[in-house]
Amino acid sequence: MAFAALAGCTNVKTDKSQSVGEPTSKSPYQNIKRELPSECTIQEYSAEELFDNSKNGVAVVLTDSGVGSAFVVKHENNSTLLVSNAHVVQGNSVVTLKWSDGSKDQAAVVKVGDVQSLDNDLALLEVSGNIGKVLQVKKEKVNTGADIVAIGAPHGLEFTITRGIVSAHRDNGRVIQIDAPINPGNSGGAILDKTGCVVGVATFIRRDSEGLAFAISSSQLEDFLVSDVGTRADSSALGNRVASPSPHVSLDSKPKCWFQQGVGGELEAANCLVSSRKNNNGHLVYDLTETVSGLKRTIVLWENEKSEVILEGKVYNGTWWTDGDGDIRVRVNGGIFAFVVPDSTETDKDLDRRTDAIFYERYPGLKGKSLGSSKGRLAKEWMSIRESLK
């Protein structure tokens, strides 16, 4: 049989227009909204409820070669773990994730299965911070004939939901056959049953056919998550730059970060984005992203001059101090890097973005509209959320 993987094998441009899967009419569940439970149950939900409750656990994966999908499977150690397909992230150590609220994050590729294997074409991604909603993975085998929905980005049409049934089980249950419409861009997306639990990962289709799509089963996904095979080794360049800038890339007039070039070498300026935020424990953390490589470090500074650096899903202990220019220097894993503390303008913008994400999750119908008077109820609620995030 000839099969085609569903990665975004063509470059698809995306924009900020309304997502295909977003409901445009008033939901009948708007007043009485049933939330998905934290564990798989026998309670069933409508397709509309499934989308409303699951979209925040789904992300679009953007790479230089195309578009794919991913979904959240776990929050741990102030990090978010997502699953996608290996062929979606192939050749990348860092990819961009786009969430349903339009915000974007850099994700490290921390574990990769076998691109050539139909039942192990999986990848594990990690993002700093607890982001999105965890989608529960079903431990039991899904029944043939069961209703399912797929959420993904077919041909770059972000957050699209389609539905169908489980047509059959293949390869001793390692792969499920489904008839839900699946296209390139759906790769790595969640296949949910009517209880809202993940029963598969959309992976490939059969060429020159209709209604013949395949997903890696949830049992195979569970095996992948607990296995150490495919886990990428720790980076040895925590304090050094991972990639040198291309010749045509010029440095910003006012560099925001510096990296040591070799052990004991001088600190050299690099292009970086630096932002600050508070994590779920209320600690101030800094996110430092190299604009050339896309690599993201998250730095936590403690009062005793101890530091933690989170890189590609791993936590490394180090030390920190403030230099004569008022910048932060961090020594970790035998190397040193430095960064400028973000000014209040950048911090405020990041705070506004996170406030918007929470507020418009509560009131999706108000997105893009005026909140009215600053003394009104909605404006006061927005400010209350913002204050709580400081």
Domains, the chain, ordered by start? 42-226 (2.40.10.120), 257-342 (2.40.128), 345-389 (no CATH)
What span, in angstroms and rounded, lies between the C-alpha atoms of 341 and 359? 27
Burial class of residue 67 in the structure, from the number of CB atoms within 10 Å of its CB (0-12 exposed, 13-18 middle, 19+ buried):
buried
pTM: 0.55
What span, in angstroms and rounded, lies between the C-alpha atoms of 99 and 59? 5
pLDDT in tens, the chain (390 residues): 445 555 443 343 333 233 333 333 333 334 445 566 667 888 899 999 999 999 999 999 998 888 999 999 998 877 899 999 999 998 888 899 999 999 998 888 989 998 888 889 999 999 888 899 999 999 899 999 999 999 999 888 999 999 999 999 998 999 999 999 888 889 999 999 999 999 999 998 877 677 789 999 999 999 999 877 666 544 333 444 433 333 333 334 567 888 875 556 678 887 788 888 777 666 778 888 876 667 788 999 988 888 999 887 788 888 999 888 888 999 887 778 899 887 654 556 566 776 777 887 788 777 767 666 556 777 778 778 877 765
What span, in angstroms and rounded, lies between the C-alpha atoms of 240 and 264? 11
Residue 19 CB neighbour total at 10 angstroms: 17
What span, in angstroms and rounded, lies between the C-alpha atoms of 309 and 239? 10
- Tokens coding 181: 């419409």
Buried b (16+ CB within 10 A) or exposed e, 129-148: bbbbbbbbbbeeebeeeebb
Instruction: Please say whether the dihedral angle defined by the alpha carbons of residues 348, 353, 357 and 362, taken in this order, is positive or negative.
Output: positive
Residue 280 CB neighbour total at 10 angstroms: 9
Question: Do 180 and 164 contact (CB within 8 A), yes or no?
Answer: yes
Closest CA to 186 of 204, 208, 163, 168: 204
Closest CA to 275 of 208, 337, 348, 180: 348
Three-state SS for 350?
A: helix
